Amino acid sequence: MKVLVQKVLKASVKVDNKLINAIDNGLLLFVGFTQNDNEEIIDYMVNKVINLRIFDDENNIMNKSVLDINGKILSISQFTLYADTKKGNRPSYVKALKSSEANELYNLFNEKLNNYINTLSGVFGADMKIELINDGPTTIIIEK
């Protein structure tokens, strides 16, 4: 499992020019799954994401988590995180988990996040348009 974490001032997701979800001040997550991902890995990733100290404290030091700032999360499914570009110029996605299995894990990941923090999502498998204002910029990849 890979999660690309972006600290954002704003983020939104649209499908067919229709706004699906939007957040202010929080985290935009791009989430990808691979073979052998399971609930134990999801629990690890949820804990990492909600406790990741990348928000400024009163001394402008990244020392607060999304929980500490009462932020929100926008979670976007992103199988392309498992693109393999070693051969040729066309990425291979054989390392990405099959869609049906990935959708189940993605839903579980979002449910578990939502137990701690308001978590919104995109539409799994849809052609989504993402807008964001990255704060920092701060972008971190978490992998398990």
Distance CA 121, CA 113 (A): 11
Please pick, among 34, 80, 119, 139, the residue that the annotation labels catalytic: 80
Residue among 28, 33, 12 at smallest CA distance from 113: 28
The full DSSP string for 47-80 is HHHHH---EE-TTS-EEE-TTTTT-EEEEEE-GG
- 85: annotated active-site residue: no
What single-letter amino acid sits at 137?
A: P
Under 8 Å between Cβ of 100 and 20: no
Q: Which residues are known catalytic residues?
A: 80
